[in-house]
A and B are shown apart, each in its own frame.
Chain A
């Protein structure tokens, strides 16, 4: 198991390296694109351009250019965003990360719990009217656009009812946990719900289908033949094996969201997280920031991927290395 984890970690490093190379090439070596001009923001002065060129070492060999870039991102962390008054990009991302993590962690807990409850209930109540009702609810959640749900939530909590039922909801934005745990929580309740609705719908449907499939497996029949209760068969035998699929899906979605994928939710609720940062950078064509966010996002996805593989081996003894 240990060698498996080491091997998987080493692979993660290799994949990360390849991603940085690919990103580097996309931003710097796309034919017909002057990276200095692209990085220097809109309408740069000749001074800025020259400065950027010198910084990036554009006249030096490719390897050195790549090395310099990576050094600015990972070591000196002084990659500058020119469209944003010389803001340092990396610290900015790190400042945004807690908001995103808070949002995604909370939403993930809600969506896992709800999806398991709904999926298991639907599978258990199969053949009765509750099953299709649950699944239609899930489908609605799956199809409702995040920005619409978010806006509706805002309209209700920040608008007409703000002074009565929802007076406990703070104004839009993110309050750090260290500043006020209560405001951190109350401010995130609706963003959490909004973000999780889509995933509840999706995960509940996948889980139900998976549970029903596993229920036809021979070992589930064996479990029944042993005299176990339906409850125990469902939870200890069926659901346990379903978790293998569930976890691999979850890892990827979670990685993508932490990596900046919750753009819509963050924008709608004014949470200044990585997604929000990406949105701003896209609007301003702020290439250094976009590049850094892409690498940051890729890092989380690759990391979660590795964690999924390790969790997979933990959940399924058949793929566990001897």
Chain B
């Protein structure tokens, strides 16, 4: 009983903190949001000129944030290799 009350209080506390954080977030699509004021304007202005690629998303994914994408691919590769080695194969 005490355990349940204690976990309820902890959960409520976390819930209040998370709700406050969500309320404090910038409105959806707000151009003044911090995420849109750091490097985004530079990408929008220069991505096509610098990379010769009209799809800005691909330019960011494969060029400006190429290191990130390589890490992402490595994670998928490691996960795939792990799953395939666990599942095994009839052909071996």
Partners in one complex: no
